[in-house]
Amino acid sequence: MFFDSIGLKKELADAIRAKGFTEPTPIQEKAIPLLLMGEDVIAQSKTGSGKTLAFGVPLMDVLGEEKHVQALVLAPVRELAMQVAQELRTLRPSMASRVAEVYGGVDLEPQGRACAHAAVVVGTPGRVLDLLNRKLLNLSHVRFVGLDEADKMFEMGFVEDLDAIMAHTPREKQTALFSATISIEVENLASKEMHHPQIVRLSSDDDSISNIKQYYVSVDWRDQLKALCFMLDKEKPTLAMIFTKTRIAADKLSRRLSSAGFEAEGIHGDLTQAQRTRIMGEFKAGKLRVLVATNVAARGLDIPEVTHVINYSLPEDHRAYTHRIGRTGRAEREGKAITIITSLHDQKELESMARRTGFELVRYPAEESEIAAYNVRGRAPEERGHETPRPHGRFGGHGRPTHSGRTTHGGRPPSHGGGRSGGFGRGPPRHGSTGQRPFRR
C-alpha cells in the first residue's frame, strides 16, 4: 500500500486509511515522495486529480507542536480555500483546530484571532495580504507554502499580492506550486521563490475534458429559457451547473427556474459568505439540484456528482469555456456539457472555441420544433397521459408546483457542422435525415 509505505505519521496514515485511500492518483504518486524529501515542486495537473492530497499529506506530516504559523496555502477563491482547509483538518484530527481559513466577505478580526493560534493558514491572496498589513498574521516562521491553482490566481490579477505575501515568508522554506498550465507568470514566481524545483507534468485541464460529451443547441433568443428547461427536464441531471455572464443574470435565471419548478439557486460574489456556504452545502448534499453561477463564483469548485454543465450564455473565450465545462466529468467520471446559442455571432464564436480546444461539439439530439413546443411551466397534458400531477419539483424535490403557460413560437433552424475534430459535428440524425451537411459559414 502506497500510503503505508512512505513513512507518514501514524495519525496521518490512519486518517488516510479511514478515508478508504489505498492507491495514489498519478499526481499523488509523483509529488508526495518529492515533497516528503523536502524538494520544491511545480506540478502541472488537471483539477479533480487529487492534488489537494498531493500537497496536503506532506504539509500535515511536517507539522510540529510549535505555536506559530508553520504552513500557508493560497487558493484563488474562498470556496476552494474552504475545501482545502476542511481536507487538511481530516488528515490530522488532533491539529484540526489549528487550521485557519481566511477569505473576504466576513469580518477580519475573528480571522485574525484564528491566525494567532493556527499552525496552518489557508486563504485567498487578498485576505491574507489584508491580515499581514494589519499585523494580524505573522508568516516569519513558515516552513511550507502551497500555491493551489496558481494559474487561476495569476489570471485573477493576484501577481503583486503573491509577491507581497511571499516577501513576508522566510527565504528558506519549501514551496509546492500546483497549476493546470505552466505559464510565464508561474515560471517567474518559481525563479524568485523556489529552490531548484522538481517539475511534475501530468495532464492539463484541456485533457481532463476528454471524458465530457459536448453539445450545442441553436434556438431563437426568445426560446433560450425554454431550451434550458427542456434540457433539464429531458436530461434529469444528478447535479447541474448553469453558467451566466453576470451576477444579475444569475439571480434572474435562478428565480425563473424556480418558478418553473426546478430546485435552483444562484451563486455569485454579491452574496454573503453565510449565503454562499448554505447554497454550496445544499448543492453538495443534493438538496439543491441546479446551481446558476458566474465564472468567478465557480472557480475551484470540485464536486464529482455534477453530471451536467449548461452554458446559458456563451463564455468569453476558450479558456473560460474549458474551465466551465470542467466542473463536470470530475474524478474520471463522464460528464455532459451543453451550450445554448441564440445568434450567428454566438455560433461563430463557439466554433472558434472548439477549434482552439481541439474538441468536437455535436448538435444536441432534439428537434427545434420540439423545444419550441415545450411548455416551460409544466409538461403538456398530452405528455402526462394519466399521470397524477406532481406536487413537487421536476427532480422530485420541493420546487414550486407546475402550472400551464403559453407556448411561444420556435426560432430559426440551426446550422450544422461536419464531424471534424475541433469544431461542430452533427449529432444523431434527426427523423427523416440521412446525412450531414457542412457547417454554414
Give me the residue spans of the domains in the chain: 2-201, 212-373
Supply the pLDDT for residue 208. Answer: 59
Closest CA to 337 of 155, 357, 345, 259: 357
Interior/surface letters 194-204, b for 16+ CB within 10 angstroms, e for the rest: beebeebebeb
Interior/surface letters 264-281, b for 16+ CB within 10 angstroms, e for the rest: bbbbbeebeeeebbebbe
Residue 314: other Cβ atoms inside 10 A? 21
- The three cell numbers of residue 325 are 465545462
Asked whether the CA dihedral 103, 105, 108, 113 is positive or negative, the reply is negative
Supply the pLDDT for residue 36. Answer: 94
Crossing angle of the two packed helices 10-18 and 78-91, in degrees rounded to 10 = 110
268 Cβ contact partners less than 8 Å away, ≥ 6 residues apart:
247, 250, 251, 293, 294, 296, 297
> pLDDT tens-digit profile of 113-167?
999 999 999 999 999 999 999 999 999 999 999 999 998 898 888 989 999 999 9
Q: Is 136 left (phi over 0), alpha (psi -120 to 50) or beta?
A: alpha
Asked whether 8 and 57 are in contact (CB, 8 A), the reply is: yes
Cα separation of 211 and 245, whole Å? Answer: 25
243 three-class SS = strand
Asked whether 92 and 63 are in contact (CB, 8 A), the reply is: yes
> pLDDT tens-digit profile of 235-252?
999 999 999 999 999 999
Q: How many residues does the chain have?
A: 441
212-373 — its CATH code? 3.40.50.300
Cα separation of 322 and 332, whole Å? Answer: 16
Tell me if the pTM is above 0.75. Answer: no
212-373 shares the fold of 2-201: yes
Asked whether 149 and 118 are in contact (CB, 8 A), the reply is: no
- The three cell numbers of residue 166 are 511571499
Element housing 381 (H / E): helix 381-384
Fold of 2-201: Rossmann fold (3.40.50)
Supply the pLDDT for residue 211. Answer: 83
Q: Give the pLDDT means over successive 10-residue stretches in the chain (441 positions).
A: 83 90 85 94 79 93 93 94 94 95 94 96 97 97 95 87 96 93 82 91 62 92 94 95 94 94 89 83 91 79 88 88 85 88 92 79 87 73 35 44 39 40 50 34 29
Asked whether the CA dihedral 241, 247, 249, 253 is positive or negative, the reply is positive
Closest CA to 341 of 219, 213, 222: 219
Please identify which residue in the block is written with the cell numbers 419550441. Answer: 372
90 Cβ contact partners less than 8 Å away, ≥ 6 residues apart:
15, 19, 96
Cα separation of 71 and 263, whole Å? Answer: 40
Supply the pLDDT for residue 203. Answer: 57
338 Cβ contact partners less than 8 Å away, ≥ 6 residues apart:
214, 215, 216, 217, 231, 308, 309, 310, 311, 364
